[in-house]
Amino acid sequence: MFNESINYLRKSDELYKTVFIGGILTLLGFLLVPTFTVVGYVVRVLRRTSRGDEEPPTFTDVDDAIEMTVEGFKGFVVAFAYSLVPLVIAGVLVGGSIISLIAGGGGNSGGLVGLGLGGLFLGGLVALVLGLAAAYVIPAALANFAEVGTIGAGFDFGVLRPVLTSSTYARGWLIGLAVVIVGGILLSVLSIVPLLGTVLGVFVQFYFLVAAYYVIGRTWGELRDVAPVGDGDSPSEQAAV
């Protein structure tokens, strides 16, 4: 599936247009709305590939882009909610550790300094573990959101639990991770040329992000046996949230 994911976008008749627009949106991601559009595109990739549709979605007209952005905002909410948990927990641990270090630094309180250093280490470790857990759950949560079309579907652990604990999903996630790593290596190589590397990097980043989610979509379809519906760009169950 690794090779298929790398070649996924190449199946599109609008390959260059799609990568160009996706790269520009990635570059402008700090404005948030372009990020929502990219997430919306990824959601469509998940929906199509889970249904066995190998034709990549495209950025077509303004109305379609607005719909994609709205859907991407919902997907962003799902992903952000999972990311927020490790950030908050790690922030509390690290923040408390910094306070202990500051308090211990004003005198001879070695105990407070030791507690602060231990807390920093523990906070970093907890952040790493929870961050990896979030990174493992988010693709499946987005896939279920893509299938059902509601934000709540991203937190439906009755559906997600058997998927997340399956060897099939774990294997697909690892393949997707390998795709991301290859993209990261390519980005590192491009960064040798400062300006050109930065410009080209956003297009590479978008390309490999889509490739990784192609793997997740295929894996989700294999586990969930998602039936084809319509043109592949509408969820099987549409709702306001």
Q: Tokens in use for 73?
A: 């905002």
The answer to whether residue 236 sits within a structural domain is: no
Per the structure, the count of domains in the chain is 1
Chain Cα centroid distance, residue 68? 16
Q: Tokens in use for 236?
A: 């099987």
The answer to whether residue 191 sits within a structural domain is: yes
Q: Tokens in use for 164?
A: 């997340």
The answer to whether residue 60 sits within a structural domain is: yes
The answer to whether residue 92 sits within a structural domain is: yes
The answer to whether residue 233 sits within a structural domain is: no
Which of 233, 188, 176 has its CA nearest to residue 53? 233
Residues 204 and 183: beta-carbon distance below 8 Å: yes
Predicted pLDDT at 206 = 96
Predicted pLDDT at 111 = 54
Count other C-beta atoms under 10 Å from residue 76's C-beta.
19
**Percent of the chain scoring above 90 in pLDDT:** 63
Among all chains, which residue has been given the structure tokens 């519906």?
229
Give mean pLDDT, residues 167-174: 96
* Count, residues in the chain: 241
The answer to whether residue 200 sits within a structural domain is: yes
**How far, CA to CA in Å, does 39 sit from each of 25, 156, 185?**
10, 20, 23
Predicted pLDDT at 79 = 96
Burial, 135: exposed, middle or buried (Cβ in 10 Å; 0-12, 13-18, 19+)? middle
State the alpha helices, DSSP H only, in 106-193.
Answer: 110-148, 157-164, 167-190
- DSSP code for 10: G
Measured between alpha carbons, how far is 219 from 221 in angstroms, rounded to an integer? 5
Average pLDDT across the chain, whole number: 85
Q: Which domain holds residue 11?
A: 2-224
Residues 23 and 202: beta-carbon distance below 8 Å: yes
Full-model pTM: 0.85
